[in-house]
A and B are shown apart, each in its own frame.
Chain A
């Protein structure tokens, strides 16, 4: 098969590009102290949150946009972004029941495959539906509460559980951690909050479905998950956005805290609109995700399938502080057309006998660039720490690029670090072999890519694995030239 044919197979039709017709509240563009106070006022926040925002804003003003990454884009005009977006009907008030939610929005989620109505709700998954950084509705909230698990929007948590939020917010990703985290800390609108009490295994999967709809606004959600001693949770997140010719800014912060013997599994399927084949439009995805294994024997595991966004800039990380704690990062990043992804992880080993595993699979096609950037740091106290990393790249065609930037540091002679990386491609011989066994070119490519990404895909929870499989298929199928 010709390379052109292979290339034309990537960049399959984006199926989530529709727009929902809703009316938004008026809100001025730009960022300054007044804007931040106004966000805080509309969300009826306590003073300490307003202060948190203002301090972050002060830090942000002093900071510069990072430039060390391997992505190139026109810097967003931060004065032209609308930092708060709420639909008129909700008027900033949280819905008591689904009746309070705009039926258009309910229909949108249904279209995305996430029905919110009680009788249709996905079984075994509690969903927090976030529409333009505003939590619209959370399913199974009451049922979870029976087990002591709190799952709600972060705005709600600030009102109802201020002591927990105050104790943990900004402790994993400090206000001034980096440019985008600082911006988020200043203007965050909504996001999910999850608290699993001591000795509790969360009885169902928790999921947040993020939807960007407003062309003018940025999305700045903030997620906080706390797992107390001996507890366990699995959390999923999915993201989609309409096709706009302009770009949208998404700068999220996710903080995870795992106390002794706790385990958090965080899975993402990121499928924001990635722009067209000329690179017009798409979401700028600047995300700071970090987990803190605070307690001994705790475990945090990140799994991500990154297929969307014009720009992806995210490094879900784990600080391995507790002794024997475990950090994992499993990633598949697919880029096509003009997409640029710079993604990876940081594993910071502080505690004794800490172990981390990194498996990253990057697939580049079209004119895209796909970079793995990772850091493994073994501090001098991390006795017998172990890290194992594999970063493989697959190139489809001759106009894309694959980059690997692993930073490895060890200051402890009892630690063991192993990193390996390789590149491969979808071989013509492989395609012919599979065709000879009866498969079409599309199916052959899809099968080869799925095989390449298998070590990561198998880490996804069942409910997501099917979706991820389909997503890779859609991304890589299409008209064979």
Chain B
């Protein structure tokens, strides 16, 4: 235990020393950083003795010391393969945590929406940054959030004004390049949809190499009164990366927040979507799909916090586990006192296809109001033999039958994503994955 502690501290101190040398070009940002750094100094880093982290080991995170991504030379990779056709002119690109004007374009978007790099807006003292940054988060006391604050640098900032409905989806592309050193990178994005507005955002994390790095993205979303926010997150970081994300959304009266999180990459990933109902009569969705193999570990800890009466919430979290991969799910549904008439659904389904795979799941209900309908379910198992047999009896061979069934299993969570190219991309990813599954030596 002592060695681990020492490692945590190395990890922390090295970076905090470096933090002092950063310059935010903005007093506001500097203040956020200083406060964040203070909090980090006073908050212990988690380990698997903590209930919230008990199923995974953070050894991979603590075993290395990291350098800040800014020590890397500027890179200009070819990113065309990763662009979405619908978002040719509605895209912000960040390479190694820094905004890339060259690859970004927002021409397709109306003039009255504010969409830019957070760093640029902060440098020009745009009041929106001060007004919205860190206002929609429920990660008080969380050391990783403080850590992200301590290194606050850049990210996407989107503000959609009242009543503005945007059909064009917006692509936020976060690219990590290959490097000789182990680096860490943060990004902090803010999406504010004002009253009655609509927006679709695709948050996309890509690792170009197979190197180790630590990616810590923070995303805050505010779905204002009667707003409709669709948020898809695709995590395809490098297979050696560590991805620890903080995502929080505030959902105001009559608003609807839909999020779909797809986890494909990273050796160790931790998603923590936290949805906070801020007023009556709202809807939200927190679906997820996890496809992991090799020695990947994917951990999702979600919070659906029902704080007011009348809410419809939905969470379908599906995982396919092959090789030595390990999937963790802890979904918390809270219904606070007097938050009556809540209709909350949660299901975690796991396809454990390998001898060496492992699944932990802990769906959790904490209910303090009586007039509510809350259900949760969790399953862990194989493909249904009856279904395999049925398909074989229709002439498919075993491989085809299994592939089709895994595909069908995965598809349910992505078919609601409205951006066609994203759906197509994910369908391809599912195919690649099932292909890998069938060749895995541990597959039963």
Assuming A403-B367, A406-B362, is B382 touching A413 (CB within 8 A)?
A: yes
Closest A residue, CB atoms, query B333? A404
| A393 in contact with B367 (CB, 8 Å) | yes
CB of A425 within 8 A of CB of B371, answer yes
| In-complex Cβ contact of B375 among A395, A417, A420 (8 A) | A420
Q: Is the CB of B377 within 8 A of A420?
A: yes
Q: Of B338, B353, B374, which one neighbours A423 at CB under 8 angstroms? A: B374
Check B363–A406 contact: CB distance below 8 A.
yes
Residues of A279-318 whose CB lies within 8 A of B: none
Q: Does B163 contact A (CB under 8 A)?
A: no
In-complex Cβ contact of A421 among B368, B376, B379 (8 A): B376
Per-residue interface assignment for chain A, residues 401 to 429, with 1 indicating a CB less than 8 Å from any chain B CB and 0 otherwise:
11111111111111111111111110000
Contact B382 A398 (CB under 8 A): no
With A405-B364, A420-B377, A424-B373 given, name 12 new contacts (CB 8 A): A393-B367, A399-B337, A403-B367, A410-B380, A411-B358, A413-B352, A413-B444, A415-B352, A418-B377, A418-B378, A419-B361, A420-B375
Contact A415 B376 (CB under 8 A): no
| Complex Cα gap A246–B416 (Å) | 58
Please give me the residue from chain B that is nearest to A397 by CB atom.
B370
A-B residue pairs in contact (CB < 8 Å), sample of 15:
A395-B370, A401-B367, A405-B362, A409-B359, A410-B350, A410-B358, A414-B382, A415-B352, A416-B379, A418-B378, A418-B381, A419-B377, A420-B377, A423-B367, A423-B374
Question: Is the Cβ of A415 less than 8 Å from the Cβ of B381?
Answer: yes
Taking CB atoms, residues of chain A closer than 8 Å to B357 are 411, 413
Across the interface, A413 reaches (CB within 8 A) one of B338, B354, B362, namely B354
Expressed in whole angstroms, the Cα–Cα distance for A424 and B381 within the complex equals: 28
The reply to whether A409 and B366 contact each other, CB–CB distance below 8 Å, is no
Q: Are B355 and A421 touching (Cβ within 8 A)?
A: no
By secondary structure, the B interface counts as: strand
Residues B365 and A423 in contact, CB atoms below 8 Å apart: yes
Q: Which residue of A lies closest to B379 (CB)?
A: A418
Given A416-B381, A417-B380, A423-B367, the answer on whether A408 and B355 have CB atoms closer than 8 Å is no
| Residues in chain B near residue A396, CB distance under 8 A | 370
Question: A14–B427 Cα gap in the complex (Å)?
Answer: 62
Q: Which residues of A contact B (CB under 8 A)?
A: 3, 68, 378, 380, 393, 395-425
B367 contact set on A, CB distance < 8 A: 393, 395, 401-403, 423
Of the residues A395, A397, A398, A413, contact of B353 by C-beta under 8 Å: A413
A384 to chain B, nearest CB (A): 10
Contacts of B362 in A (CB 8 A): 405-408
Residue among A393, A410, A414 facing the most chain B CB atoms (10 A cut-off): A410
The reply to whether A419 and B379 contact each other, CB–CB distance below 8 Å, is yes
Report how far A369 CA is from B141 CA in the complex, Å: 26
- Name B residues whose Cβ lies closer than 8 Å to a Cβ of A: 51, 337-338, 340, 350, 352-355, 357-382, 444
Q: Known: A401-B367, A423-B373. Contact between A409 and B360, CB under 8 A?
A: yes
Q: Complex: how many Å from CA A423 to CA B340?
A: 13
With A393-B367, A405-B362, A408-B361 known as contacts, the answer to whether A413 contacts B374 (CB < 8 A) is no
CA A224 to CA B419, docked complex, whole Å? 63
A39, B380: Cα distance in complex, Å: 49
Specify which chain A residues have a CB less than 8 angstroms from the CB of B340 in the assembled complex.
398
* B359: A residues at CB distance < 8 A: 408-411
Q: Is B374 in contact with A408, judged by CB distance below 8 angstroms?
A: no
* A398 and B355 in contact, given A420-B375, A420-B377, A425-B370 (Cβ under 8 angstroms): no
Inter-chain CA distance A410–B380, complex, in Å, is: 7
A-side contacts of B376, CB under 8 Å: 404, 420-422
Instruction: State the Cβ distance, A479 to closest chain B Cβ, in Å.
Output: 20
Interface residue from A68, A398, A409 paired with B369 (Cβ < 8 Å): A398
For the complex of A and B, list the 9 residue pairs with the smallest distance between their C-beta atoms, beginning with the closest: A395-B370, A404-B365, A420-B377, A416-B381, A417-B380, A425-B370, A410-B380, A422-B375, A419-B378
B377: chain A residues within 8 A (beta carbon): 418-421
User: How far, in angstroms, from A194 to B444 measured CA to CA in the complex?
Assistant: 44
CB within 8 Å for A380 and B380 given contacts A405-B362, A408-B360, A423-B374? no
The residues of A that contact B374 with a CB separation of less than 8 Å are 422-423
Give the residue name and chain of the B residue nearest to A390 (CB).
B377
The CA of A405 and the CA of B361, in the complex, are separated in Å by: 10
Interfacial chain A residues near B350, Cβ < 8 Å: 410
Which residue of B has the minimal Cβ distance to A378?
A: B380
- A334 to B: closest C-beta gap in Å: 15
Chain A neighbourhood of B378, CB < 8 A: 406, 408, 417-420
Cα of A417 to Cα of B377 in the assembled complex, Å = 10
Q: B284 CB to closest chain A CB, in angstroms?
A: 19
Q: Complex Cα distance A418/B376, Å?
A: 11
